[in-house]
């Protein structure tokens, strides 16, 4: 009974955590650099260190395609719920 009522909060919390985690590139560098390569670090390295703009652009588009569908889905679900509550 409680879990279905908390699903909007779970979805919002997941998106609020997922989006910054995907884009982080400063914090791992400040923390003495991580051995695990993150997408934000990859974009930074390809754009500014390697100057390989085609690869960096492809990675940025892939990141965009990964981020937009969950946001659109969440927005549609929220709009349906608001319409149902009227």
Domain extent for 78:
9-84
- 12: pLDDT confidence band, cut at 50, 70 and 90? confident
- Dihedrals phi, psi of 33, to nearest 5 degrees: 70, 140
Residue 31 placed within a domain: yes
pLDDT in tens, 27-86: 666 665 666 677 777 787 888 888 888 888 888 888 888 888 888 988 898 899 889 888
- 4: pLDDT confidence band, cut at 50, 70 and 90? confident
Residue 66 placed within a domain: yes
In this predicted structure, what is the pLDDT of residue 62? 87
Q: CA-CA distances (angstroms) from residue 29 to 4, 22, 54?
A: 40, 15, 24
Decide: pTM greater than 0.95: no
Residue 1 placed within a domain: no
Total number of domains constituting the chain = 1
* CA distance linking residue 68 with residue 53, whole number of Å: 22
Residue 4 placed within a domain: no
Residue 27 placed within a domain: yes
Residue 52 placed within a domain: yes
In this predicted structure, what is the pLDDT of residue 33? 62
């Amino acid at each position: 009974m409680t879990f279905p009522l908390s699903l909007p909060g779970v979805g919002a919390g997941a998106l609020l955590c997922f989006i910054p985690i995907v884009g982080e590139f400063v914090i791992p560098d400040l923390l003495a650099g991580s051995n695990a390569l993150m997408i934000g670090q990859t974009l930074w390295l390809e754009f500014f260190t390697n100057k390989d703009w085609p690869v960096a652009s492809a990675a940025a588009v892939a990141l965009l395609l990964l981020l937009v569908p969950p946001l659109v889905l969440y927005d549609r679900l929220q709009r349906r719920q608001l319409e149902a509550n009227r």
